[in-house]
Structure 1
Amino acid sequence: MGQQTVDRSDNVAYNRAKLWQIILFAANNTSTNIYLVAFSFVTYFSTGILGLAAIFVSQLMGYIRIFDGIIDPSIGVLIDKTDTKFGKYRPILILGNLITALSFIFLFNIDHFGKALTMPLFIVALIIHKIGYSMQQTITKAGQTALTNDPKQRPIFNIADGVMSAILFSGSQIVVSGYLMKKHGGFTDSFFNELMWGVIIISAILGALAVVGIWEKDNKKYFGLGEEKTQKTEMKDYIKVIKGNKPLQVLSISAALIKFSAQLFGDAVVTVMLFGILFGDYALSGVISGLMVIPNVLVTTFAASVARKKGLRRAYIMCLQVGIAALAGVAGLLFVAEPGSLNLTSWGGFSLAFVVLYALGRYFASAPSGLVLTMGADISDYETSVSGRYVSGMIGTIFSFTDSIASSFAPMVVGWVLAAVGFAKEYPTAETALTSDLKLATIALFAIIPIAVLLVSLFLMKFYKLDNEEMARVQEKIHAMKAAKDNERVQDIAKNVPLSDMDYVDLSQYPVDEP
């Protein structure tokens, strides 16, 4: 292998990916998110088909997400310890997708086992599902560290992911409200059977594309400092990482709060309450979803463009600020809204204002969730620069852990709010009459609670310091560590060279072999 001398204008010898590799690997997030979309309808399956109480299901779904968070660190260790001829990431991705698919087949056939087994089998199915989902979903964050470390390239992942996610979330609502509901006459057995197989097939195809995308980069030479110089990690070291990595602590909590609000935006029950009850026409949810595809893509692309120019931190904060302001406007409109207020045929002032503020509020407030997928890779690189360790799996699952704990409260909060207004046994449907209590519950779940949570998330970002300049220093330090002659020198640089000192280091003195 030839040597490459890097000057200050180039900063470091980046590991870059081809555009098609980034796009295909981004499909992994959509592959797991399609299960997340389908999962929001499990509440109707559990109450309508299985006959379980709504308040019980809402709390159980929350506890299952907490369980998901508890097992996530174990999955992170599994990923970090995986070392096969087939790579580190591909085996976990494929196994996770297979387990998740089998869990869905099991879940939507529980009603065939008899009433006595309904509750225990429902819980078992949810647990199996969460294990498979976490395995595959964590690869989205962990694999990006190997895919590319170029700060100009990493946000491209967010654009690709954003486009696919926009098509998924908007398209799924169109399919459910405009096709499946009409074809099957509501949330029936046949509805869930078609939903199940559609989700399994689409997810498997997207997962296969992601495997192709990460194929070349799923190699030890792209992990951390490379096979020889990356420090071996013992179980006790994971505690050190969690306790000592402040960017990880801050961003994981901030991102979890954003995911919580995003869960409320996309919750199937909240969607029914907003469009089916408050506006009086559930089919509007599908129409709105169709209209939102382009705004969603534009917001995601804009956020990624800001990230490429100004850094991920700047883009993250900007999205939160715009999202909070727009949601405040949505809250104001919902207070004066009544059935029939939203008319997408005549397009009056209310309808136009709602659509614009809805698009800005929902998608700017949710955009940081996509940016976090890439920021997790930044934090993994930061950890490598200060310890010499490569623990992308663990760092990815720490985000999943806090994400699961926070998002577990979304169905719980929906259940609590609805129980407070008289819906403890069953969820309101599109046929439920609008009352003042239901209206206030809808406004609280879709706007007021998210605004409060997002303000806390925004405050936490004051303590997250990995901006563009700091990440340049991180990559420069990793470059110097790769050029070190032995592991002792690697550790010396990691422990004794602060990132601030990298401003005074001449990287031309650190030639490294090209990967």
Structure 2
Amino acid sequence: MEQHGSSSTLSMWKQRIAYTFSGFGQAAFYNALSTYFVVYVTTSLFAQIDTKLAAKLIGIITGLIVIIRIAEIFIDPLLGNLIDNTSTSWGRFRPWQLIGGVVSAVLLLMVYTGLFGLVNINQTWFIVLFVITFIVLDIFYSLRDISFWGMIPALSEDSHERALYTSLGSFGASLGFNGLTIIVVPVVSYFSFIFTGKHAQQQSGWTVLAIIVMLLAIVSAMSGAFGTRERESALRVKAQENGNPIQAFKAIAKNDQLLWMALSYVCYAIANTATVGVLFYLFKFVLNKEAAFSIAGVIPVITGFIVTPLYPVLNKYISRRYLFIIGMVSMVIAYGLFAFGSASLAAVITGLILFYLPSTLISMTAILTMTDSVEYGQLKTGRRNEAVTLSVRPMLDKIAGALSNGIVGFIAVAAGMVGSATATDMTAANIHTFKIFAFYTPLALIIVSLIVFIVTVKIDEKEHERIVAQLEHQLDAINRRV
């Protein structure tokens, strides 16, 4: 018995490590796609094209990304429904982690090479093929992301155990996302110099970075696919038939707690992703300290190491509702420092600490609330929609990434932070434009997010326990009648 228990514990920890590493590669991929792809577009993709034409093409590309991702709002629930209705010996989620991870990784490399140089040969064909490639990339990325987070309810029905997996997934994601921020400038600059002899970000450097991210994404997808196992339970077995796509949309529409949390989260996510996207421009054009940009990656890695493992511990004594509120207040203070102290490296660093410290508290609360809304929706509708319900958060991240891409691209052009421009070229008007869209607008979204959460979101740990108990009671009653 003791040996069996030891083996079971070892297997459990192997699964937890595999899940954590899967999140690591997934988040690095997302950062490359949502943040640095726009930096690549505005600085290097059109470097060999006339400046005026390049500015127009930057606007077209960033605009297309926004349109494509907003249009795909209606696709993600369908992908969630596809996953929910998948039946294999691997389970529902693992096959899509592997397939989605591999396909999207290869396509990421393609867009980071200007479709292998087509951008410099024929811009019309480049735009057409870019749209097709990006749509396919986004769909397979969504399958990977939905299956990754959607697996949490399949791993456990206990709210605290889910908090542990959410913590591990978020911990790996934090390391992957911010680890890429740390290496992006050194890697791109180093390999640009190796291939061109120039101390600036060139196409060759971005290509090497894309190769690194592609390989990491593939290996991490394999980790999630082969290193985890779904757990069957009475509630999951009872809900094997998950309905058609129309029922999937109905499941989301009837889950009011999911929708309110989604509204609060998307406001936060847009603000957060847009701010992360402009940090490179803050260091390069406002502070004139591009070499110090790695700080923007080191700080979240350190705060992630501290806060993410502590979340389950903090959550034992402090309701996640209050952890969310505390995190939002910290972000409000951070934006104040960015807005009024953007010319001071010390003020920016302090702002970055206050900005990144609560990100785990906020994102994990949102993920857990949406995860617990699986049972809430099951109680209301009689159907258990795991992947459909949890497709909402990746969908929101996609919306946030799309809008932030548009915001960052707009800021770069409007503030004159494109091409070969430097900090010495910036005027007071340029800096003012930058601040309005980089700091004041996200701050307003954070305040809206906090108000929506406080007023409308009711699911917490105790409420979830009550819902699960009621579902189990209903299932027992059905079994007794049978």
Q: Does the pair score TM above 0.5?
A: yes
Aligned to 1:451: 443
CA deviation string 1:257-296 (max 9, x = no partner): 11111211221xx123210111111111113422442123
Q: Return the offset for 1:393.
A: 1.3
Residue aligning to 2:220 = 206
Root mean square deviation of aligned Cα: 2.7
SS in 2 for 1:152: helix
Q: How does 1:182-331 map to 2 (within 5 A)?
A: 182-185=190-193, 186-215=200-229, 217=230, 221-222=232-233, 225-228=235-238, 232-267=242-277, 270-331=278-339
Residue of structure 1 in register with 2:184 after alignment: 176
> Residue 246 of structure 1: CA displacement?
0.9
Match in the other structure for 1:128? 136
Inter-partner Cα distance in structure 1 for 2:72 and 2:424: 33
Q: Per-residue displacement from partner, 1:128-181 (whole Å, max 9, x unpaired)?
A: 110111000011221101111222222223432343233223322221222331
184 and 375 in structure 1: CA distance in 2 versus 1, 3 angstrom threshold: same
Q: Does 1:148 align with 2:162?
A: no
What is the SS of the residue equivalent to 1:54? helix
Q: Distance in 2 between matches of 1:108 and 1:176?
A: 13
Deviates more, 1:427-436 or 1:133-142: 427-436
Q: Counterpart amino acid of 1:83?
A: S
The answer to whether structure 1 residue 470 and structure 2 residue 466 are counterparts is: no
> Given the superposition, is the C-alpha separation of residues 409 and 432 from structure 1 closer, same or farther in structure 2, using an over 3 Å criterion?
farther
Partner of 1:502: none
Shift of 1:87: 1.2
Please give the secondary structure, in 2, of the residue aligned with 1:83.
coil
- Cα distance, 1:422 vs. partner? 5.0
In structure 2, distance between residues paired with 1:404 and 1:396: 13
Give the TM-score taking structure 1 as reference length.
0.80
Q: Distance in 1 between matches of 2:216 and 2:299?
A: 23
Higher helix share: 2
**Matched residue, 1:163:** 171
* Residues 483-512 of structure 1: CA deviation (Å, up to 9, x unaligned): 2344988xxxxxxxxxxxxxxxxxxxxxxx
Q: Distance in 2 between matches of 1:434 and 1:229?
A: 59
Please tell me whether Structure 1 or Structure 2 has the larger radius of gyration of its CA atoms. Answer: 1
Q: Which deviates further from its counterpart, 307-316 or 378-387? A: 307-316
Matches of 1:157 and 1:430, distance apart in 2: 44
Indicate the SS of the match to 2:201. Answer: coil
Residues 182/456 of structure 1: CA separation in 2 closer, same or farther (3 Å cut): same
- Pick the aligned partner of 2:68 from 64, 67, 87: 64
Quote how far apart the aligned CAs of 1:198 are.
0.5
User: Alignment partner of 1:484: what SS?
Assistant: helix
Amino acid at match of 1:180: V
1:203, distance to aligned residue in structure 2 (A): 1.2
Per-residue deviation at 1:49?
3.1
Preserved CA contact (<8 Å) 1:262 1:366: no
Unaligned stretches of 5+ residues in structure 1 = 1-16, 343-350, 490-515
Does the Cα contact within 8 Å between 2:187 and 2:209 map onto a contact in 1? no
Q: Look up the equivalent residue of 2:148 and give its one-letter code.
A: T
CA offset at residue 212 of structure 1? Answer: 3.5
| Other-structure match for 1:12 | none
Structure-2 separation of matches of 1:299 and 1:360: 12
TM-score, structure 2 length as denominator? 0.85
- 2:100 aligns to what? 96
Is residue 381–residue 474 contact of structure 1 (8 Å, CA) maintained in 2?
yes
Q: How far apart in 2 are the matches of 1:363 and 1:107?
A: 32
Q: Counterpart amino acid of 1:71?
A: I
Preserved CA contact (<8 Å) 1:159 1:300: yes
Structure 1 pair 307–437 and aligned structure 2 pair: CA distance change class (3 A): farther
One-letter identity of the residue aligned with 1:121: L
Contact kept? 1:92, 1:139, Cα under 8 Å: yes
Query: Is 1:170–1:292's contact at 8 Å kept on the other side of the alignment?
Result: yes
Paired position in structure 2 for 1:497: none
Return the offset for 1:23. Answer: 3.8
Gaps of 5+ in 2: 1-10, 194-199
Structure 2 CA distance for partners of 1:433 and 1:422, relative to 1, 3 Å: closer
- Asked if 1:414 is matched to 2:408, the reply is yes
May I ask how many residue pairs the two structures share in their alignment? Answer: 451
Partner Cα separation in structure 2 for residue 464 and residue 420 of structure 1: 37
Partner of 2:3 in structure 1? none
Residue in 1 that maps onto 2:59: 55
Q: Does 1:119 align with 2:127?
A: yes
1:18 equivalent to 2:12? Answer yes
* Whole-angstrom distance in 2 between the partners of 1:46 and 1:279: 22
Aligned to 1:435: 427
Once residues 326 and 246 of structure 2 are traced to their aligned partners in structure 1, the CA distance between those partners, rounded to angstroms, is 37
What is aligned with 2:29? 35
Q: The residue matched to 1:233 in structure 2 has which SS?
A: coil
